[in-house]
């Protein structure tokens, strides 16, 4: 008889994503958490030297980083904010310049994207997290767009996950193709940074 501990069954990431999105949408204090995370992000951005940041348009109850990014951009000249635009051929993202009031149109997934603005490579990328684990492990939507995009950019941009603190999954481990984050911010503050 063997005394070996059987391996844990693999996590059903699709079911976990659905559960976490439903929980995020049902948060009774999501607005208050968003206000806290806006403050955390604004303070964190103050010390950053990057001048080109890729953000995202929030969907499915995600935290909206755009107000903090706009405040960051207006505090100094030559700062650019970009939003992702899906490149279907490469299954990656490109970042197009965004500013409040810029023309928008739906992308391949019906998410608003800037219309007719310049493309640029961000020095820092903010990534939405459905959930997160220890040491910067991110659970995204599973398409791998951010992972492939960041891996293709030279130099590699600094990556920052944004999530509400209820998305913490202590047993979450990175998969072989998962992007490791450089920092992770939640409504509780900076919870991970290399």
SS (H, E, C) the chain: CCCCCCCCCCCCHHHHHHHHHHHHHHCCCHHHHHHHHHHHHHHHHHCCCCCEEECCCCCCCCCCCHHHHHHHHHCCCCCEEEEEEEECCCCEEEEEECCCCCCEEECCCCCEEECCCCEECCCEEEEECCEEEHHHEEECCCCCHHHHHHHHCCCCCEEEEECCHHHECCCCCCCCCCCECCEEEECCEEEEEC
pLDDT by 10s per residue, the chain, length 194: 556 655 555 678 999 999 999 999 999 999 999 999 999 999 999 999 999 999 999 999 999 999 999 999 998 889 999 999 988 787 789 999 999 999 999 988 899 999 999 999 999 999 999 999 999 999 999 888 999 999 999 999 999 999 999 999 999 998 887 888 999 999 999 999 99
């Amino acid at each position: 008889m063997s005394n070996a501990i059987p391996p844990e069954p693999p996590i059903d990431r699709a079911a976990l994503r659905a559960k976490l999105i439903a929980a995020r949408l049902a948060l009774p204090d999501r607005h208050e958490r968003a206000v806290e995370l806006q403050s955390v992000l604004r303070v964190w951005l103050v010390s950053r030297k990057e001048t080109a940041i890729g953000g995202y348009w929030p969907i499915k109850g995600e935290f909206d980083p755009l107000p903090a990014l706009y405040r960051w951009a207006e505090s100094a000249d030559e700062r650019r904010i970009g939003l992702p635009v899906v490149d279907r051929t490469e299954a990656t993202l490109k970042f197009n310049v965004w500013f409040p009031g810029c023309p928008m149109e739906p992308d391949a997934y019906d998410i608003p994207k800037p219309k007719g603005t310049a493309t640029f490579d961000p020095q820092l990328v903010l990534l939405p997290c459905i959930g997160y684990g220890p040491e910067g492990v991110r659970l995204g939507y599973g398409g791998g767009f951010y992972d492939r995009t960041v891996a293709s950019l030279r130099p590699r941009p600094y990556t920052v996950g944004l999530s509400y603190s209820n998305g913490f999954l202590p047993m979450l481990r990175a998969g072989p193709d998962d992007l490791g984050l450089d920092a992770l911010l939640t409504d509780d503050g900076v919870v991970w940074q290399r």
